[in-house]
Amino acid sequence: MIVSVILIPFITGILVPVIPFRKRWQKEVFLETAVVLNSILVWFLLLHHSDSTFLLAHFTGNLNISFRVDGMSMVFAGLVSALWPFATLYAFEYMTKEEHENVFFLFYTLTYGVTLGIALAANLLTMYFFYELLTLVTVPLVMHTLTREAVLASRKYLYYSLGGAAFAFLGLIMVIVYGSTTDFILGGVLDPAKTAGKTNVLLLIYVMAFLGFGVKAAVCPFNAWLPQAGVAPTPVTALLHAVAVVKSGAFAIIRLTYYSFGTDFLKGTWAQYAVMSVVMFTIVYGCSRAVKETHLKRRLAYSTISNLSYILFGAVIMTPLGLVGALTHLVFHAVMKISSFFCAGAVMHQTGRHYVHELNGLGYKMPRVLGIFTISALALMGVPGLAGFVSKWNLAGAAAESGNPLAFGGIACLLVSALLTAIYMLTIVVRAFFPGKDFDYRTVSDIRDPNWKMLLPLFVFSIFIILFGVYSQPVVDFFMSVATGVV
């Protein structure tokens, strides 16, 4: 069952170029059906999960590839499978203007499977395996346009990701050698008997592994790939570089911190301070770069960098509440960012405009898209009543509760970042809706909102943003039970 949800996307993806579809809509229906079915299957699996581990294969020694559904997997798998059908729907419309559709959908669907693999992995090795695989299946997507820019971007993406994985690998080794098992167990698996006297080395390796996985999560010195990867088609940027790929990085870090090394081992050590400082710096850095950036998607990408570090900030607080904060932001940010990316994509698709200064006055011609963009912008800023506020509240609350002085500074960083978020998001909104006195409306006269395939996901996402904003209780409760290990 677990394997099937990973395999179905693989099979579907491979079938896309193989089956000779006569009409485009047939392909669309086929893909969408498969994806939706798979999502339903995933949700069914999550809701009716058993605690048993499914062993797929022995790798070497006591290392094996196995899958299991636990709280964290439920969060991530649920999130991914909820977003994917919408993203696919959106992609159909978006890709009408792009080439080599089949290759695109092949890898796009493969990525679904791989991401689920990361989510459902039962041990560190399996996760690492899918993590590397994720890099590989997403590279063709980044390269898709095959322009020089795209090639440079994907090259950079590969360097960074593989390089990061190399260091994450060291963490894996530590867990294999010093842990009692590589399975994920909340609270960590390190064996105190083995680690005695080696604490500092382990901490050093933890920091390395953190930064290694952090490459995917675009932690500061290693974030350069993400804005560049924005050359990919928007469905990719939106879903992968705002959700699936980068969140896998964050997810992996959470797994590493909470489920492998264990917070008891890490809390209060220099390692925690080190990673927390890095994360805090990234929060501010990402935002500042976003303010400076004039390319719409790249600006959003920088915003993603900053927001990912919110998640990591929650994770490195290393308390259950911190984990709750991280998970909340993991999920909510996904919805907000995918929504804003889709808006950006819709604008690009409809108008071909890529730069922020080209968006003047579009608000009157694409009110739906930009209205939704405004909502997601406000949510990202953290206006109360929208999803972003809840997650920030949880994060900051956890930081304040932790009593860690550096975490207090982290709250300040969050707020500075919120201010910068306001700057870079609202300037867009203001431009779109208040183009200025001498704006010539004729330049936008033949622009209109996109069709339903693009709008439907947008509407759904904005509804979710508001819903999470005003009524997040059940979700947060669920996260709480994940963080305390009840689920």
Least CB distance to another protein at residue 151 (A) = 5
In terms of CB distance, is 165 or 335 closer to another protein?
Answer: 165
Least CB distance to another protein at residue 98 (A) = 14
Burial class (CB in 10 A: 0-12, 13-18, 19+), 405: exposed
Q: How many residues bind another protein, per CB under 8 A?
A: 90
Residue 167 vs residues 262, 397, 442: alpha-carbon distances, Å: 19, 32, 54
Among 311, 476, 483, 487, binds another protein (CB under 8 A): 476
First to last CA, the chain: 20
In terms of CB distance, is 2 or 413 closer to another protein?
Answer: 413
**Residues 335/469, Cβ–Cβ less than 8 Å:** no
Least CB distance to another protein at residue 25 (A) = 28
Binding positions for another protein, 278-337, rule CB under 8 A = 291, 294-295
In terms of CB distance, is 59 or 281 closer to another protein?
Answer: 59
Q: How far apart are CA 84 and CA 103, in angstroms?
A: 18
Window 124-143: contact mask with another protein (x via CB under 8 A): -x--xx--xx--x--xx--x
Least CB distance to another protein at residue 39 (A) = 26
Please spell the DSSP secondary structure of 212-233, one letter per residue.
HHHHHTT-GGG-THHHHGGGS-
Among 394, 455, 458, 465, binds another protein (CB under 8 A): 394
Least CB distance to another protein at residue 296 (A) = 10
Backbone angles phi, psi at 407, to 5 degrees: -65, -30
Backbone angles phi, psi at 295, to 5 degrees: -85, 130
Binding positions for another protein, 242-281, rule CB under 8 A = none
Taking Cα atoms as reference points, which of 208, 346, 320 lies closest to residue 271?
Answer: 208
**Residues 321/483, Cβ–Cβ less than 8 Å:** yes
In terms of CB distance, is 267 or 295 closer to another protein?
Answer: 295
Among 208, 243, 271, 482, binds another protein (CB under 8 A): 208
* Angle, in degrees to the nearest 10, between helices 296-317 and 270-292: 160
Among 393, 406, 459, 467, binds another protein (CB under 8 A): 393
Binding positions for another protein, 143-172, rule CB under 8 A = 143, 146-149, 151, 154-155, 158-159, 162-163, 165-167, 169-170
Least CB distance to another protein at residue 184 (A) = 18
348 binds another protein (CB under 8 A): no
Window 456-475: contact mask with another protein (x via CB under 8 A): -------------xxxxx--
Residue 210 vs residues 197, 205, 253, 317, 339: alpha-carbon distances, Å: 21, 8, 6, 14, 28
Least CB distance to another protein at residue 173 (A) = 4
Binding positions for another protein, 415-444, rule CB under 8 A = 415-416, 418-419, 422-423, 426-427, 430-431, 434-437, 439, 441
**Residues 107-133 as b or e (16 or more Cβ within 10 Å = b):** bbbbbbbbbbbbbbbbbbbbbbbbbbb
59 binds another protein (CB under 8 A): yes
In terms of CB distance, is 37 or 63 closer to another protein?
Answer: 63
In terms of CB distance, is 20 or 61 closer to another protein?
Answer: 61
Q: Hey, which residues does 355 pair with through a beta bridge? A: 295
Least CB distance to another protein at residue 408 (A) = 8
Binding positions for another protein, 26-55, rule CB under 8 A = none
Please spell the DSSP secondary structure of 141-199, one letter per residue.
HHGGG--HHHHHHHHHHHHHHHHHHHHHHHHHHHHHHHBS-SB--TT--B-HHHHTT-H
Least CB distance to another protein at residue 186 (A) = 22
Taking Cα atoms as reference points, which of 413, 464, 160, 423 lies closest to residue 310?
Answer: 413
Binding positions for another protein, 176-205, rule CB under 8 A = 176-178, 201, 204-205
What sign does the CA torsion over 208, 392, 295, 104 have? Answer: positive
